[in-house]
């Protein structure tokens, strides 16, 4: 179903001054049609030209979702709230009707709430690669928003945090007065600059599509257990290759290092299980306000709670693990994990490779026991999916690639995992 609202191509105030009765009728009629379609998945085709004498313009001949219309009318009403004439009247009626179509529980329009987890492919490995990669990622995310999803986004930061750690270490080597940056600080830096690139690219993409939506990044801390077994067996490799002398210095500091023959030594850190997302209420509040939120970047900043203080831990958190927890904490309808392959495969990388369109939690666990999922690649994603669905049995998980996400949300690609 499509609703066509014929916008006024003349100055609205002048038009209404000649046709006050028609203006009221137009407002009521538009409001009734909007209310009739508010609970459907209707895509509105809106022709809005010059709304007022202040040139409050939006692209003509553009497709707008219901939320986009609400944003436009909200902006228009806010912009003209103090006007004393009746030009705002029909749009006020539209606004009141749209508000009636919002969820009574949250006060916001009913949408599919989804947590999206972005992998390395969505961000690239260098600063220049990231600038180009986030533009493509923004298009995929905008497709989801146009499909009436409310998104909370998390992302990987492996290459980025390693780059920052290398830079800060080299700074200390050259300028001995500088204090080396701990891993928690490097993680915070990576959250800030990756989030900055994503939110700007997504905001620009949405505006190009005629969608006004606030996109923000929350610097997120995640508590971990200081007695987590991961601290006794660190596995996450970070930083540059070091000489034997530099490796000995790290060992004296209490850090772990591993040797790669022919290349040197590298530092390794723990990957503990996330316990609590410290800023979860802030994330939830913004999500309920229909804002797009980027949070828990790189798994979040791992911290250990000591009395009332949060102290950074020398660790990293798996971004898939935090994505599953974040989706569970927000009671999201869906967890969307975007990775380098269009779907999950049985016997991946072999001649008998078989795409899996659907999985249940029980089937996923069985395949995990069979060793079908490689550790460090697909296995963390399956574990995150199972963890989320065991907390939210009515939810679903979609695993696909950025290139295939548009088809995947229409059921034409990807792997869908459900509780049963």
The pLDDT confidence band at residue 414, using thresholds 50, 70 and 90, is very high
Q: What is the dihedral of CA 253, 259, 264, 268, to 10 degrees?
A: -50
Taken in order 411, 412, 418, 420, the sign of the CA dihedral is positive
Count of domains observed in the chain: 3
Q: Is residue 23 part of a domain?
A: yes
Q: 231 and 272 in contact (C-beta within 8 Å)?
A: yes
Q: What CATH number corresponds to the domain at position 154?
A: 3.40.1160.10
Closest alpha carbon to 144 in 119, 109, 114: 114
More confident residue, 195 or 20: 195
In sequence order, the 6+-apart residues with CB closer than 8 A to the CB of 86 are 16, 20, 23
Q: Is residue 105 part of a domain?
A: no
pLDDT above 70 (res 245): yes
115 sits in which H/E element: strand 112-118
SS3 50: coil
More confident residue, 238 or 348: 348
Angle CA(142)–CA(147)–CA(148) in degrees, nearest 5?
A: 100
pLDDT tens digits for range 294-307:
999 999 999 999 98
Give the full edge-to-edge strand order of the sheet including 309-312. Answer: 274-277, 221-224, 301-306, 309-312
Closest alpha carbon to 316 in 303, 329, 326, 328: 303
Q: Is residue 71 part of a domain?
A: yes
Q: 194 and 298 in contact (C-beta within 8 Å)?
A: yes
Please indicate, yes or no, whether residues 279 and 264 belong to a single structural domain of this protein.
Answer: no
Q: What is the DSSP-derived secondary structure letter of residue 272?
A: P
Please indicate, yes or no, whether residues 317 and 390 belong to a single structural domain of this protein.
Answer: yes
Give the residue from 100, 128, 160 where a domain finishes.
100
Bridge partner residues of 260 (DSSP)? 264
Lowest mean pLDDT among 16-20, 206-210, 374-378, 395-399: 16-20
Q: 43 and 2 in contact (C-beta within 8 Å)?
A: yes
Hey, what are 96's tokens?
């009141």
Please indicate, yes or no, whether residues 74 and 178 belong to a single structural domain of this protein.
Answer: no
pTM of the model: 0.72
CB hemisphere CA count around 378 (13 angstroms): 24
More confident residue, 242 or 348: 348
- pLDDT for the residue numbered 71: 57
Q: Is residue 294 part of a domain?
A: yes
pLDDT above 70 (res 227): yes
Q: 347 and 394 in contact (C-beta within 8 Å)?
A: no
CB hemisphere CA count around 163 (13 angstroms): 15
Q: Is residue 107 part of a domain?
A: no
Closest alpha carbon to 160 in 130, 198, 116, 204: 130
Q: Is residue 106 part of a domain?
A: no
Q: Is residue 318 part of a domain?
A: yes
pLDDT above 60 (res 168): yes
pLDDT tens digits for range 335-373:
999 999 999 999 998 999 999 999 999 999 999 999 999
- CA-CA distance, 233 to 182, in Å (whole number)? 19
Q: 115 and 335 in contact (C-beta within 8 Å)?
A: yes
pLDDT above 90 (res 206): yes
Percent of the chain with pLDDT strictly greater than 90: 48
The pLDDT confidence band at residue 173, using thresholds 50, 70 and 90, is confident
Please indicate, yes or no, whether residues 79 and 195 belong to a single structural domain of this protein.
Answer: no
Q: 243 and 320 in contact (C-beta within 8 Å)?
A: no
Lowest mean pLDDT among 138-147, 177-186, 319-328, 394-403: 177-186
- pLDDT for the residue numbered 70: 54
Hey, what are 116's tokens?
């999206």
Closest alpha carbon to 273 in 228, 312, 309: 228
Please indicate, yes or no, whether residues 178 and 54 belong to a single structural domain of this protein.
Answer: no
Strand-pair category, 301-306 with 309-312? antiparallel
- Cβ–Cβ contacts within 10 Å for residue 174, how many? 7
pLDDT above 80 (res 406): yes
Taken in order 364, 368, 369, 371, the sign of the CA dihedral is positive
349 backbone φψ class: left, alpha, beta (φ>0; ψ -120 to 50): left
Please indicate, yes or no, whether residues 68 and 190 belong to a single structural domain of this protein.
Answer: no
More confident residue, 200 or 131: 200
pLDDT tens digits for range 13-64:
444 444 444 444 445 455 454 454 444 444 444 434 434 333 333 343 344 4
Please indicate, yes or no, whether residues 313 and 263 belong to a single structural domain of this protein.
Answer: no
Q: Is residue 196 part of a domain?
A: yes
Please indicate, yes or no, whether residues 324 and 245 belong to a single structural domain of this protein.
Answer: no
Please indicate, yes or no, whether residues 182 and 312 belong to a single structural domain of this protein.
Answer: yes
Angle CA(85)–CA(90)–CA(93) in degrees, nearest 5?
A: 120
Please indicate, yes or no, whether residues 205 and 189 belong to a single structural domain of this protein.
Answer: yes
Please indicate, yes or no, whether residues 350 and 413 belong to a single structural domain of this protein.
Answer: yes
Q: 254 and 232 in contact (C-beta within 8 Å)?
A: no
Please indicate, yes or no, whether residues 130 and 92 belong to a single structural domain of this protein.
Answer: no
Q: 304 and 366 in contact (C-beta within 8 Å)?
A: no
Q: 149 and 398 in contact (C-beta within 8 Å)?
A: no
- pLDDT for the residue numbered 9: 40
- Name the residue range of residue 124's domain: 112-226+273-418
pLDDT tens digits for range 84-135:
443 433 443 343 333 333 443 444 447 899 999 998 888 887 788 888 889 9
Give the residue from 40, 67, 100 where a domain finishes.
100
Strand-pair category, 334-339 with 256-260? unpaired
């Amino acid at each position: 179903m499509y609703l066509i609202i014929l916008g006024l191509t003349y100055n609205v105030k002048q038009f209404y001054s000649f046709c006050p009765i028609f203006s009221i009728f137009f407002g009521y009629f538009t409001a009734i049609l909007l209310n009739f379609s508010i609970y459907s998945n209707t895509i509105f085709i809106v022709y809005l030209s010059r709304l007022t004498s202040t040139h409050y313009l939006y692209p003509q001949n553009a497709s707008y979702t219901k939320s986009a219309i609400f944003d436009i009318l909200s902006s228009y009403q806010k912009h003209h709230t103090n006007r004393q004439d009746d030009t705002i009247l029909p749009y006020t009626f539209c606004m009141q009707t749209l508000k009636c179509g919002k969820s009574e529980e949250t006060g916001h329009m009913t949408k599919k709430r989804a947590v999206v987890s972005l992998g390395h492919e969505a961000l690239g490995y260098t600063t220049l690669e990231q600038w180009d990669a986030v533009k493509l990622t923004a298009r995929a995310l905008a497709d989801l928003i146009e499909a009436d999803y409310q998104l909370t986004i998390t992302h990987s930061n492996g290459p980025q945090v390693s780059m920052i750690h290398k830079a800060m270490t080299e700074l200390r080597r050259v300028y001995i007065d500088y204090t080396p940056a701990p891993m928690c600080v490097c993680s915070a830096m990576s959250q800030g600059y990756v989030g900055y690139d994503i939110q700007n690219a997504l905001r620009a993409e949405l505006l190009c599509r005629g969608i006004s939506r606030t996109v923000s990044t929350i610097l997120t801390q995640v508590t971990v257990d200081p007695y987590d077994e991961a601290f006794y067996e660190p596995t996450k490799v970070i930083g540059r290759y070091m000489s034997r002398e530099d490796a000995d210095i790290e060992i004296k500091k209490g850090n772990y290092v591993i040797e790669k023959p022919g290349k040197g030594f590298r530092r390794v850190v723990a990957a503990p299980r996330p316990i609590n997302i410290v800023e979860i209420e802030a994330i939830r509040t913004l999500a309920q306000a229909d804002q797009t939120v980027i949070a828990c970047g790189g798994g979040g900043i791992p911290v250990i709670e000591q009395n009332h203080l949060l102290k950074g831990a020398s660790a990293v958190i798996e971004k898939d693990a935090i994505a599953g927890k974040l989706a569970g904490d927000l009671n999201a309808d869906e967890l969307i994990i975007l990775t380098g392959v269009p779907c999950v495969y049985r016997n991946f990388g072999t001649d008998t490779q078989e795409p899996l369109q659907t999985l249940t939690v029980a089937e996923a666990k069985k395949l995990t026991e069979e060793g079908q999922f490689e550790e460090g690649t697909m296995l963390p994603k399956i574990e995150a999916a199972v963890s989320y669905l065991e907390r939210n049995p009515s939810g679903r998980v979609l695993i696909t690639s950025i290139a295939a996400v548009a088809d995947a949300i229409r059921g034409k690609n990807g792997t869908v995992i459900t509780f049963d």
